[in-house]
């Protein structure tokens, strides 16, 4: 019950993480701090304005701890404070650790975690890189941490859900509104992982909540991977927090002409470590890619491996119903056909990024062959498999 007193103290707007922690430590526990006499509160060393604001908050919400406890019990939410044994030790190491967080699922206190972050407006290339990294790293026993936003975050989570465990750190309260798709994803994560937030339960997301959230993503991990990020992407802020707290920043390179890769390339230029596949990450952790993954690879992925297409960032069509290429395609056209998704699009530049066997001047001729043979269709410079 003491943790609900700590959370109730944190409800006072004038008290941030450091002051809540200081107040609880001064009195020895959350209940003692919540019930302290005014004279004793003034001796705690906190600024007078903060103490006065807390007293006003406490007087107007005398039953806050009990109400909060009852609400969490009804909703199935957990609460973890920095004073609890299951609080992740690595999170305490950052410059401003959250004094508490609410959660759904199960805390794995000492899990080895890796963050995967990137743009909300990803390309097909970024989507498949994030999913592939999430799937392989989770299969190797790492916990994937991201922010559950649309785009790269979501694809990192969904990849991890196929083979292992993932953690979603929210930029809103657990009871705040979210889309149907996001709610479904969070429910899946909570079943076999963790959904967490340091914000009060009904806090809505806003521009200020995401930077706060980003420091926790990096704080939970020894390593943060940036998959796709524009020049001003929020993922870059996560990488800044990671660097500030002595975490390793790894970056997947992208198309040099894509605005969505500018941030990644700037990070590499400034000293971040370039990676090209999951194995590069696992070597950092002294782990190996497992020989068997619980989710069977698609026929498309197997053909990619046999044909020499780089599987580390190959387009992942394992959830799509793919038709085989026509028998009369040239070898190179057949290989390019395997990279073009069904139900999604990929650009010519992205195709060139995922194979070393096709040169830029060859690609237009190959695409033309695929179009003539009724395999693919083009839309504004993007390509997809033609539907049956």
| pLDDT score for 324 | 58
- pLDDT per residue rounded down to tens, the chain (388 residues): 899 999 999 988 778 899 999 999 999 999 999 999 998 998 988 888 889 989 999 999 999 999 999 999 999 999 999 999 999 999 999 989 999 999 999 999 999 999 999 999 899 999 999 999 999 999 999 999 999 999 999 999 999 999 999 999 999 999 999 899 999 999 999 998 999 999 999 999 988 888 889 999 999 999 999 999 888 888 888 999 888 888 999 999 998 888 889 999 999 999 999 998 898 898 877 776 554 444 434 333 333 333 333 333 333 333 334 445 667 788 888 888 888 887 677 888 778 777 777 887 788 888 888 887 888 887 767 788 876 5
| pLDDT score for 388 | 57
The Cβ of residue 104 has, within 10 Å, a number of other Cβ atoms equal to: 21
Element (H, E) at 129: helix 124-139
| pLDDT score for 289 | 53
| pLDDT score for 359 | 80
CA 261 – CA 251 distance, rounded (Å): 10
Contacts of 336 (CB under 8 A, 6+ apart): 351, 355, 358, 363, 366, 367, 370
CA 61 – CA 67 distance, rounded (Å): 10
Instruction: Name all contacts of 178-181 with Cβ < 8 Å and 24+ positions apart.
Output: none
How far is CA 56 from its chain centroid?
Answer: 38
| pLDDT score for 363 | 84
pTM exceeds 0.85, yes or no: no
| pLDDT score for 176 | 93
Altogether, the residues listed in the chain come to a count of 388
Crossing angle of helices 124-139/152-163, nearest 10°? 30
| pLDDT score for 325 | 63
């Amino acid at each position: 019950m003491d943790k609900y007193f700590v959370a109730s103290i944190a409800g006072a707007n004038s008290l941030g993480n450091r002051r809540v922690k200081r107040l609880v430590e001064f009195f020895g526990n959350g209940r003692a701090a919540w019930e302290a006499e005014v004279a004793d509160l003034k001796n705690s060393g906190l600024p007078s304005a903060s103490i006065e604001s807390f007293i006003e908050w406490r007087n107007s919400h005398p039953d806050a701890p009990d109400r909060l406890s009852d609400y969490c019990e009804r909703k199935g939410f957990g609460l973890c404070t920095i004073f609890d044994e299951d609080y992740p030790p690595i999170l305490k190491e950052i410059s401003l650790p959250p004094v508490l967080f609410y959660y759904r699922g199960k805390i794995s206190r000492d899990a080895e975690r890796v963050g995967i972050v990137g743009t909300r407006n990803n390309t097909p290339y970024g989507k498949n890189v994030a999913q592939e990294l999430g799937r392989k790293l989770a299969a190797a026993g790492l916990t994937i941490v991201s922010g559950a936003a649309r785009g790269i975050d979501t694809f990192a989570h969904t990849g991890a859900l196929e083979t292992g465990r993932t953690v979603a750190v929210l930029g809103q309260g657990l009871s705040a509104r979210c889309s149907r798709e996001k709610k479904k994803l969070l429910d899946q994560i909570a079943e076999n992982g963790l959904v967490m937030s340091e914000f009060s339960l009904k806090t809505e997301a806003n521009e200020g909540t995401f930077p706060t959230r980003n420091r926790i993503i990096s704080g939970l991990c020894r390593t943060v991977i940036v998959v796709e990020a524009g020049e001003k992407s929020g993922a870059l802020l996560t990488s800044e927090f990671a660097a500030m707290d002595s975490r390793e920043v790894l970056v997947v390179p992208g198309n040099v002409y894509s605005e969505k890769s500018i941030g990644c390339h700037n990070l590499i230029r400034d000293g971040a470590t370039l990676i090209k596949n999951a194995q590069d990450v696992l070597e950092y952790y002294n782990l190996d890619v497992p020989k068997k993954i619980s989710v069977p690879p698609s026929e498309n992925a197997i053909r990619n491996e046999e044909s020499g297409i780089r599987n580390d960032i190959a387009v992942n069509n394992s959830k799509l119903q793919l038709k085989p290429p026509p028998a009369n395609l040239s070898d190179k056209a057949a290989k390019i056909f395997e990279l073009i998704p069904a139900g999604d699009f990929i650009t010519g530049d992205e195709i060139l990024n995922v194979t070393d066997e096709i040169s830029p001047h060859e690609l237009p001729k190959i695409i033309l062959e695929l179009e003539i043979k009724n395999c693919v269709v083009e839309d504004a410079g993007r390509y997809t498999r033609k539907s049956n």
